[in-house]
Structure 1
Amino acid sequence: MPGYNALAEVYEWLISDAKLAPAEFAATFDDVLSLLPPNAQVLDCSCGTGQLAVGLAGRGLQVAATDASEAMVRRTAELSEEFRASVRTVRADWEELPDHFADDSFDMVFCVGNSLHHAEGARGRLAALEAMSRLLRPGGRLVLTSRTWELVRARGSRLDISDRLVRRNGRDAVVVYRWEIAPNWEDEHHIEIAIAQVDAAGPVLARSEVLSCWPYRYDELEAELHRVGLRTETNTFNPDAENYMVVASKI
């Protein structure tokens, strides 16, 4: 899953205020975290800049964090050091996870932040889910969040410009999303994300990156989870909501 190397240095402008602090981000998963045993082994794959991984480590969990982007892994390691959190960081695509971790290693695997759509089509998505399932102990759980792609595709190609400035590190920025929606579900789609940092006393600093994605229907995800040996316990899917979460246990 290439990408996010250009955005890694400014990714905090894409994180909501509620999820910017590691402890607060981890707290959004209180319900599923309550199911874990003491000193549980947890993997945060597609860890981004590490807010969730560091928040989980702050709760006394044994945490590993992976991402396909070397720059994101570096930022996670830096955040871990800042908070003095013990997090093992590894650069790895989903398919490479079994090269770094033994089967049945984790009590819980997180794949959050709308990351699964970067897996290349149905085949790539199934391979990613299979790799994550392999790492779970029997009875362990996968926690996955996703955009509601049925809504995204219904809106078509478009330009979304934030109606407010986002303030991070003493600077304001405007965030822009350009959606390129392909004709068919199985085709490669594109999202261009641009972050323009603005300052009345200085120049505008802009970074942007075009990311490939392959959307999927909720029903497809459910079927694929079952194919890799995972049974859905709970989900928040609502066809009218922007995002949803699925918790699935390893059979």
Structure 2
Amino acid sequence: MTGYEALAEVYEWLISDAKLAPADFAASFDDVLALLPSDADVLDCSCGTGQLAVGLAARGMRVVAADASEAMVRRTAELATELGAPVRSVRADWRDLPDHFDDETFDMVFCVGNSLHHAEGASGRVAALESMSRVLRRGGRLVLTSRTWELVRSRGSRLDIGDRLVRRNGRDAVVIYRWEIAPRWEDEHHIEIAVAQVDAAGSVLVRSELLSCWPYRYDELEAELHRVGLRTETSTFSLEDENYRVVARKV
């Protein structure tokens, strides 16, 4: 998985207000975190700019943050330093996790932020899930969030333009998504994301990136989790909702 090098510098505009603060992001997983001791070993393997990892570390957990994007890892390390959070940051693709960590190292693995669709096709997705499963301890849990791709594909190729300015760190921007929906599920799809910053003088600075993705149906994900030794405990999947969360336990 590659990408997010340009968007890393403006990624805060892609995070909802409710999850921008590290403590709030971590609190959104209170129900699953309640299953862990306060000093649990936790991996966030799609860490982005580090809000979740830093929020977990603030609770006393031993946290490793990993991402395939060097820029994202750097931003996570910067946030951890700024807030005094003891987070270890590692640049690693999902497939490479077993090269960095021993088997059965972590009590919980997070793969959130709608990231799994960047794994290349079904084989890439299974390889990613297998790596996550390997580094989980027996009885440990994978927490995964996903777009509802059945819903996304039903809408076809399109342009989604934010209807309001979003303020981050005293700066305003509009977020634009351009969706390229391929004819078949198994084909490579694309999402182009642009963040158009507007300064006080009215000038506009645009940062954009074209990202590859390979969508999947929910039943495919369920089968793939089962294939790598994970059993779904809870799921919020609904064809009517934009996103869902799955918690799967390693047996």
TM above 0.5, one fold?
yes
Counterpart secondary structure, 1:164: coil
Flag as ranges the 4+ runs of structure 1 deviating above 4 A: none
1:92-115: CA deviations, max 9, x gaps? Answer: 000000010100000000000000
TM-score between the two structures when normalised by the length of structure 2: 0.99
Answer yes or no: is the 8 Å Cα contact 2:40–2:61 preserved in 1.
yes
Q: What is the alpha-carbon distance in structure 1 between the residues aligned to residue 135 and residue 148 of structure 2?
A: 26
Unaligned runs of 5+ residues in structure 1 are none
How many residue pairs were aligned? 251
1:200 Cα deviation (Å)? 4.0
1:35-91: CA deviations, max 9, x gaps? Answer: 002310000011000000000000000000000000000000000001100000000
Per the alignment, residue 235 of structure 2 pairs with: 235
Answer yes or no: is the 8 Å Cα contact 2:129–2:228 preserved in 1.
yes
Per the alignment, residue 136 of structure 1 pairs with: 136
Superposition CA RMSD, Å: 0.6
2:213 matches 1:213: yes
2:39 partner letter: N
Counterpart secondary structure, 1:108: strand
1:12 Cα deviation (Å)? 0.3
Counterpart secondary structure, 2:137: strand
Q: What is the alpha-carbon distance in structure 1 between the residues aligned to residue 60 and residue 37 of structure 2?
A: 11
Per the alignment, residue 120 of structure 2 pairs with: 120
Answer yes or no: is the 8 Å Cα contact 2:105–2:137 preserved in 1.
yes
2:116 partner letter: L
2:205 partner letter: L
Per the alignment, residue 157 of structure 1 pairs with: 157
Counterpart secondary structure, 1:99: helix
Per the alignment, residue 10 of structure 1 pairs with: 10
Alignment of 1:64-83 (within 5 A): 64-83=64-83
Per the alignment, residue 175 of structure 1 pairs with: 175
- Residues 82-91 or 199-208, more deviating: 199-208
1:202 Cα deviation (Å)? 4.7
Q: What is the alpha-carbon distance in structure 1 between the residues aligned to residue 235 and residue 16 of structure 2?
A: 22
Counterpart secondary structure, 1:65: strand
- Residues 32-41 or 206-215, more deviating: 32-41
2:63 matches 1:63: yes
1:166-196: CA deviations, max 9, x gaps? Answer: 0011111010000000000000000000000
Question: Share of identical aligned residues, percent?
Answer: 82
Per the alignment, residue 40 of structure 1 pairs with: 40
Q: What is the alpha-carbon distance in structure 1 between the residues aligned to residue 207 and residue 67 of structure 2?
A: 20
Per the alignment, residue 24 of structure 1 pairs with: 24
